[in-house]
Chain A
Amino acid sequence: MPLHPIIIFIAAVFTHNIALTYLLGICPLVSMSRHLGAAFGMGLAVTIVMLITSIANWLLYYYVLMPTGSEIMSYLVFIIIIASIVQLLEMVIIKYFPRLENSFGIFLPLITVNCAIMAISLFMVLRTYSLFQTILFALGSGIGWLLAIAVIAAIREKLKLIGDIPGGLKGAGITMIIAGIIALIFMGFSGVVSIQ
């Protein structure tokens, strides 16, 4: 029986969080979580890019690659599509939403090489999701990632007020520990839904 898209969505946000369960997209999670504002901008950009690229890649995979037997090239095609969609998105934002550009425009180029984005496209193929399932999976994963980075950034902002972090743990070190504890908390959701 195919999984209901809503279940996939909830699983992607909580029980199978892309950052905290699969440890994907950790690089920006650590480097961009200093301020809540920047973290939110980054999370939003990741969500949007995830959604658009997974839809484009789904269509391309099932309507172009599969019928011609070119699945072997899917990695290459996915990367090309992700990179060009990010570029296109950047141009559209610069042209029509200059204010948005100021808040997360500089994050877009970083997303091109974000493994979480690529992972969504690969997972949807691996798990043979339908288009509708893919859309909710991508949306859920994006929101899940946004949630993770926002929570970590909020904790880091509070930590900065307290200060007193041992020298060796400052920056990336303490962030990894925070991420680990948040991941443990998210494990508490594991009974809610299961997709595997």
Chain B
Amino acid sequence: MTTFLIIDTIIFCVALILLVAQKYLLNFKDCSIRLNNEKDIQVEGGNNLLNYLNKNKIFIPSACGGKGTCGYCKIKVIRGAGNILPTEEPFIDRAERKLGMRLACQIKVRGKVEISIPDHLLGAEEYEAEVVELSDKTHDVKLLNLKLTSDKTFEFEPGQYVQVKIPGTDEFRAYSVATPPYMKGHIELIVRLVPGGLCSTYIHKALEVGDKITFTGPFGDFFLREADSDIVGIAGGCGMAPIRSIANHLAGLGMPRRFYYFFGARTTKDLFFMEEFTELEKKYPNFKFIPALSEPSPEDKWNGEVGLITEVAERYLDQLDKIEAYLCGPPPMIDAAQILLANKGVKKANIYFDKY
């Protein structure tokens, strides 16, 4: 009995001491964040920069919830954050260090901090949505149809992504929007089940129609640019999402530009949205859909293109002139595609990509 009393007393005293210490030691005066040299945000100080920005409705991409493990919340800090910390070093290379890039989640605000955030990130907001449809597209890919329940409309460029908040955690995961912007109030996301993945497991196993979901966005500089050149889209797996958004957006405008869409998969069971794109192809002579399998098995009865998607694309590229390329897929695919396009004389500035 006395033992428990003693332990309780010790814990109580320790907690009391810590609380008192926190009150007297951790009160910072005059803490503020100066944003892009024009806006001052007053904060109480002590917490990290990412937290304060989120609280003030400035949403910076971040996946790990401020643990310093994803390295997405990079922003430019002009002054007031001290030296770079060992926890940031793995994510910030030498060139970025010179620019003053830091991880927002690792910087504690204890005074005046001056930062600079690119304009395209300032447009991101938080939205509420309801799941209206959840369908299997392949054995490991689900299509998530969301209806926005917030009053504000969600404006984005075709190709951009949103960050879905995982309920019960502070973590977010990025998913490209798979529908064109003109479908106001509705967005679709393509989610592949990643073994052990926090958000994809949640969406695949736990989420049901009628559930509420919170996301922030739009993010990303991977979106369709206004031009009149021909478009090459190369995607693999879930890279389908942003290219589908771009293709449908252009279809909505009557397909004013020539568009070749190469989609790579391993076998027929990894293919999805085939009918939709074949329809588009029939409707618009400007649009060509070229799916390819890298490892077709005899039972696939595949009579389309075979090979890595970059090898397949190489056979078609000469039919186009003045190319603007949009690449989305796994990093090796994007690297190979960039080499291919460079060999075909496509300028680096005209190649946009999104690695995941």
Which residues of A are in contact with B by a Cβ distance under 8 Å?
A: 35, 38, 60, 64-65, 68-70, 72-73, 76-77, 80-81, 84, 87-88, 91-92, 94-95, 98, 102, 106
| Nearest chain A CB to B113 CB, angstrom units | 14
Task: Please determine whether A80 and B11 come into contact, CB atoms closer than 8 angstroms.
Answer: yes
Task: Please determine whether A95 and B2 come into contact, CB atoms closer than 8 angstroms.
Answer: no
Task: Please determine whether B10 and A80 come into contact, CB atoms closer than 8 angstroms.
Answer: yes
Q: Determine which of B15, B26, B83 lies in contact with A91 in the assembled complex, contact meaning CB atoms within 8 Å.
A: B26
Which residue from chain B places its CB closest to the CB of A84 in the assembled complex?
A: B14
Q: Determine which of B2, B11, B86 lies in contact with A69 in the assembled complex, contact meaning CB atoms within 8 Å.
A: B2
Task: Please determine whether B82 and A77 come into contact, CB atoms closer than 8 angstroms.
Answer: no
Residue B319 CB within 8 A of the other chain: no
Task: Please determine whether A88 and B21 come into contact, CB atoms closer than 8 angstroms.
Answer: yes
Residue B206 CB within 8 A of the other chain: no
Chain B residues contacting A72 (CB-CB under 8 Å) are: 3
Task: Please determine whether B25 and A84 come into contact, CB atoms closer than 8 angstroms.
Answer: no
Task: Please determine whether B2 and A68 come into contact, CB atoms closer than 8 angstroms.
Answer: yes
Q: Determine which of A76, A80, A106 lies in contact with B86 in the assembled complex, contact meaning CB atoms within 8 Å.
A: A106
- A73 with B3: in contact, given A95-B25, A106-B87 (CB under 8 Å)? yes
User: Interface size of B by Cβ–Cβ distance < 8 Å?
Assistant: 20
A106 to B6, CA, bound (A): 32
A97 to B7, CA, bound (A): 33
Task: Please determine whether B18 and A70 come into contact, CB atoms closer than 8 angstroms.
Answer: no
- A92 with B25: in contact, given A80-B11, A84-B17, A106-B85 (CB under 8 Å)? yes
Which residues of B are in contact with A by a Cβ distance under 8 Å?
A: 2-3, 6-7, 10-11, 14-15, 17-18, 21-22, 25-26, 82-83, 85-87, 110
A35 to B86, CA, bound (A): 10
18 other contacts beyond A80-B11, A84-B15, A94-B25, with CB at 8 A cut-off? A60-B10, A68-B2, A68-B6, A69-B2, A69-B3, A72-B3, A84-B14, A84-B17, A87-B18, A88-B18, A88-B21, A91-B22, A92-B21, A92-B25, A94-B110, A95-B25, A95-B26, A102-B83
A175 to B232, CA, bound (A): 48
Interchain residue pairs A-B with the least CB separation, the first 3: A70-B3, A91-B25, A95-B25
Task: Please determine whether B82 and A102 come into contact, CB atoms closer than 8 angstroms.
Answer: yes
What are 27 A-B residue pairs whose CB atoms fall within 8 Å in the complex?
Answer: A35-B86, A64-B10, A65-B6, A68-B2, A68-B6, A69-B3, A70-B3, A70-B6, A70-B7, A72-B3, A73-B6, A73-B7, A76-B7, A77-B10, A80-B10, A80-B11, A80-B14, A87-B18, A88-B18, A91-B22, A94-B25, A95-B26, A98-B110, A102-B82, A106-B85, A106-B86, A106-B87
- A94 with B18: in contact, given A69-B2, A77-B10 (CB under 8 Å)? no
A38 to B85, CA, bound (A): 10
Task: Please determine whether B26 and A94 come into contact, CB atoms closer than 8 angstroms.
Answer: yes
